[in-house]
Structure 1
Amino acid sequence: MKASVIMSTYNAVQWLEKVLWGFSVQTTADFEIIIADDGSNSKTKEKIDELRKLIAIPIIHVWHEDHGFQKTKILNKAILASKTDYLIFTDGDCIPRNDFVVTHLKYREKGFFLSGGYFKLPMSISKRITKEDILNQNCFDLKWLKNNGLKSNLKNIKFTTSPFLSNLLNKLTPTKPTWNGHNASGWKTDLLAVNGFNEEMQYGGEDRELGERLVNMGLSSKQIRYSAFCLHLDHERGYVSEEIWKKNNAIRAYTKANKIIKTSSGIRPN
């Protein structure tokens, strides 16, 4: 296998199933799937066991008990569980286009991490997408989306399948190529070198902070937001807290100011 796809999830069985069907029709099968489960109930395990019988890609379920938002901890456990040297990260609410994995493999390069993009869907369309729409890739067809209620917007250009236009937009976009939890990838050795995710952090910038430490270590980031593409399904965020945001922002500011590379609260605690 050439890569491990690591996706986080928490009690979102319907969305996770749609995402797994998306990975079942990738243009390459040379990867494994690792589900980083932040304490979901038994329904998630039951669905994963069911889909293992239907999807040819190896699926590993990494789980820990529910003690609130601990995404960074379960992602670190997933990193250790991976069996390949290249790791692609996404979320269990992001359906990948069928060229998602092969695009990350195409652009991977020593000394870099990759920064991909997503397109946020409204709840109405998120619910309307069926297994068949994913297998047939209808949900990545702009005409189909508009017929199902998507409004015209400049952001709809993300649905381009032209390699020339995608590469041009990657170069022209003012958005910085950061480490994004929904769509990013890097070498396992690099992630281990910075000691993985900072487990002191909860929701809010925890993914970006990892990327900032990779940059402090000397890596560069490569923009592929218009080439590696996924659909973000809508959901509530009951775990958002202003207090935690402030704490996380302070950690990120310290990481930047002090050029921190290796977190002391990561895969291997000091």
Structure 2
Amino acid sequence: MRTSIVVLTYERPDALALALRGLARQSVAPDEVIITDDGSSPATRACVVREARGFPCPVVFLTHDRGGPRMSRARNRGIAAARGDYVIFLDGDQVPSRHFVADHRAFARPGTFVQGSRALASAETTARLLAGGDLDVSPLEPGLGRRRHALRAPALWWLFARRHRSRRGLKSCNFAFWRDDLVRLNGFDEEMTGWGLEDGELAQRGYHLGLWRRDLRLGGGVLHLWHGPPGVLRDDNPNWLIYDATIASRRVRCTRGLDAHLAELAGPLPDLREEADQAASPR
């Protein structure tokens, strides 16, 4: 099973650097890491080039013009570029635990997608990590939110691994799908812009396809770095109309989705490790 990590980022290169360092030290390396940028300044790409040097797998960088938050489009471009059988989604402000990839690989099953978990770093812990602290954060760390998700106990995965089709707790950070299933679904719905619901809507179409959800707990966790107040899912968010229409129609494929990017990103894409090596070599 080849594993692709698709990392969504926007204008936070300091956090992205930590996420990439976390991926670089995995006990089982992914087969590739694809950073898909939602229209950031050049500082984001420069960060990826710096971190790509010596990386254990190919590193690809994608971006598009900024047109407001277009997370669905950015993630679809990452899926289109992915060459792996299994795609794990990560946000650029999340630091994966050391066994993140190994746990996801062990937990994957045909006919299912996986919802992972996250612990929440405090502002103080985030500042320490950004200043160069050890990426390993203890479950006993002061101020850690949802600290249970910093624990790892593979022998107990079965307690939470039952197949179900709940809508609760769906989030596209630490989210994993078989790529073939994403192609059948046509990926994320690009009619959904702004913040919220694109992950739940994708999962709902997955249920219509016949997929089941499994929750990975006590393993495969990430540390979500602190940032300002999170977005609030308002009742007047226009994405609700799309989400509700998906449920009512029981549709499987979205109209504007992944297929718009498959041809463009089908060929070999530059591995930023080569550019990083050239930048580091003496002139």
- Structure 1 residue 122: Cα displacement: 2.2
Identity of aligned residues (%): 28
Distance 1:177 1:98 in 2: 27
Partner of 2:64: 64
Using the TM superposition, give the Cα deviation of residue 53 of structure 1 relative to its aligned residue in structure 2, in angstroms: 1.2
Partner residue, 1:38: 38
Cα deviation 1:150-205 (Å, max 9, x = unaligned): 26x7x32222222234543556xxx8676521111111110011111000112111
Confirm or deny: 8 A CA contact 1:15 1:92 kept in the other structure: yes
Deviation string for 1:21-46 (max 9, x for gaps)? Answer: 11011111242100010011011111
> In structure 2, do the counterparts of structure 1 residues 239 and 64 end up closer, same or farther at CA, with 3 Å as the change threshold?
farther
Q: TM-score under structure 2 normalisation?
A: 0.83
Aligned mates of 2:78, 2:151 — CA distance in 1: 32
Shift in CA distance, 100/44, structure 1 to aligned 2, threshold 3 Å:
same
CA deviations over 1:211-262 (Å, ceiling 9, x no partner): 111111001111113322001112236876747x621112111111111100
Q: Within the alignment, does 1:127 sit opposite 2:118 as a pair?
A: no
Give the whole-Å Cα distance in 2 for the aligned partners of 1:166 and 1:131: 32
Alpha-carbon distance between aligned partners in 2 of 1:167 and 1:127, rounded to the nearest angstrom: 35
Which of 152, 160, 180 is the matching residue for 2:151? 160
Segments of structure 1 that go 5 or more residues without pairing to the other structure are none
1:142 and 2:178 are equivalent in the alignment: no
Q: Is the Cα–Cα contact under 8 Å of residues 177 and 223 in structure 1 kept in the other structure?
A: no
The question of 1:224 aligning with 2:210 is answered: no
Report SS of the residue matched to 1:268: helix
Return the letter of the residue paired with 1:189.
D
Q: Contact 1:4–1:87 at 8 Å: present in 2 too?
A: yes
Contact 1:179 1:210 (C-alpha < 8 Å) held by counterparts: no
Q: Is the 8 A contact 2:72 2:189 kept in 1?
A: yes
4+ residue runs over 4 A deviation: 175-179, 237-241
Is 1:20 equivalent to 2:20 in the alignment? yes
TM score, norm. by length of structure 1: 0.87
Number of matched residues? 258
1:182 aligns with 2:173: yes
1:251 correspondence with 2:242: yes
The verdict on how the C-alpha distance between 1:241 and 1:215 changes in structure 2, with shifts beyond 3 A counting, is closer
Distance between the aligned counterparts of 1:99 and 1:268, measured in 2? Answer: 32
Deviation of 1:119 (Å): 1.2
Partner of 2:103: 103
Name whichever structure is richer in helix by fraction.
1
Quick one: structure 1 residues 181 and 233, their matched pair in 2 at CA, closer, same or farther if it must change by over 3 Å?
same
- CA RMSD after TM alignment: 2.5
Q: Could you tell me which amino acid in structure 1 is paired with residue 197 of structure 2?
A: G
Structure 2 alignment gaps of length 5 or more: 261-283
Structure 1 79/11 Cα, relative in aligned 2: closer, same or farther at 3 Å?
same
Query: Residue 133 of structure 1 aligns to a residue in which SS?
Result: coil
